[in-house]
């Protein structure tokens, strides 16, 4: 197993890509802190599934767009497992609309949930990771929208592009201490956030994907597991696109 003995914190892990990441890291031997904001039943279902397969997991409620809540999440992880080796920032939301129709609240909630949460969790987790002096892995989930843009998603694309710049800078700050910081940028993947897209729009997206299909949450999770492992020890500040070629 790639991650035996490791401890991972995954934000937004009660569903979709976050759930797949939590389950995959657990399958590779990591003890996983399953963060969620409000859906306790879904988070506990993820934990129960991991435990049934012989893994270790704990659900922790925290709105990671709030600094105090993010700090509480990290404290809970340390109290449960003593240390943290892996942080995966996956929490995210959308409020899609054209810029001229976008309300300030729609901008703010997306920036806070998608980008500020990354700052909050990384800041809270970095100090205990540094104190332990055993390196670590931070993987931040961006999106192909943060690379190529998407109509009706100025808020979302800005938040995801911000994650890339943040991660590249943090990689330079933490690299000398053996902590790598990388980004995974998924393309179109079936999740609750994409479930409401009109069928004609879904068909349009397929025309721009060289592999001719949407991705699967599990495929994103495998990329995260690789970056979380010792096999990626000499990779930092990188953006790994899992997008079927749409970003090329």
User: Of 50-54, 141-145, 208-212, 234-238, where does mean pLDDT reach its minimum?
Assistant: 208-212
Q: Would you call 234 a catalytic residue per the annotation? A: no
pTM greater than the 0.85 cutoff: yes
pLDDT for 246 equals 85
Q: Which CATH number do you get for residue 130?
A: 3.40.50.720
**Domain membership flag for residue 137:** yes
The model's confidence at residue 208, banded by pLDDT at 50, 70 and 90, is confident
Q: Who has greater pLDDT, 193 or 242?
A: 242
**Domain membership flag for residue 248:** no
Please give the helix or strand (H or E) that residue 86 lies within, else none: strand 86-89
pLDDT for 83 equals 98
**Domain membership flag for residue 144:** yes
Report d(CA 173, CA 181) in Å as an integer: 10
pLDDT of 125-165, one tens digit each? 999 999 999 999 999 999 999 999 989 999 999 999 999 99
Half-sphere exposure at residue 240, Cβ-oriented, CA atoms within 13 angstroms:
20
**Mean pLDDT score, 84-102:** 97
How many domains, in total, are found in the chain? 1
**Domain membership flag for residue 222:** yes
Report d(CA 120, CA 64) in Å as an integer: 7
Look up the domain containing 219 and give its range.
Answer: 7-241
Question: Is the confidence at residue 248, as pLDDT, over 90?
Answer: no
Alpha-helical runs (H) found in the chain? 16-27, 40-52, 67-81, 104-111, 117-132, 145-148, 154-174, 199-206, 217-228
**Domain membership flag for residue 247:** no
User: For residue 188, what are its two tokens?
Assistant: 């179109």
Of the candidates 81, 156, 208, 234, the residue annotated as catalytic is: 156
**Domain membership flag for residue 157:** yes
pLDDT for 206 equals 86
**Domain membership flag for residue 71:** yes
């Amino acid at each position: 197993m790639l991650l035996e003995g490791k401890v991972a914190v995954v934000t937004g892990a009660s569903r979709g890509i976050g759930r797949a990441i939590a389950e995959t890291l657990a399958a590779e031997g990591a003890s996983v802190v399953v963060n969620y904001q409000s859906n306790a039943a879904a988070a506990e279902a993820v934990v129960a599934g991991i435990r049934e397969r012989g893994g270790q997991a704990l659900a922790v409620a925290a709105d990671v767009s709030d600094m105090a809540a993010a700090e509480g999440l990290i404290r809970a992880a340390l109290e449960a497992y003593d240390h943290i080796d892996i942080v995966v920032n996956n929490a995210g939301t959308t409020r899609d609309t054209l810029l001229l129709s976008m309300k300030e609240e729609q901008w703010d909630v997306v920036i806070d949930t998608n980008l500020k949460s990354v700052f909050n969790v990384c800041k809270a987790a970095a100090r205990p990771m540094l104190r332990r002096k055993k390196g670590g892995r931070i993987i931040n989930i961006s999106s192909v929208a943060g690379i190529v843009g998407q109509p009706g998603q100025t808020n979302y694309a800005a938040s995801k592009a911000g994650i890339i710049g943040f991660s590249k800078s943090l990689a330079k700050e933490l690299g000398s201490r053996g902590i790598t910081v990388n980004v995974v940028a998924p393309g179109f993947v079936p999740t609750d956030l994409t479930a409401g897209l009109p069928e004609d729009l879904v068909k349009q997206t397929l025309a721009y994907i060289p592999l001719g299909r949407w991705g699967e949450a599990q495929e994103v999770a495998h990329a995260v597991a690789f970056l979380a492992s010792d096999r990626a020890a000499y990779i930092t500040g990188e953006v790994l696109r899992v997008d079927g070629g749409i970003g090329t």
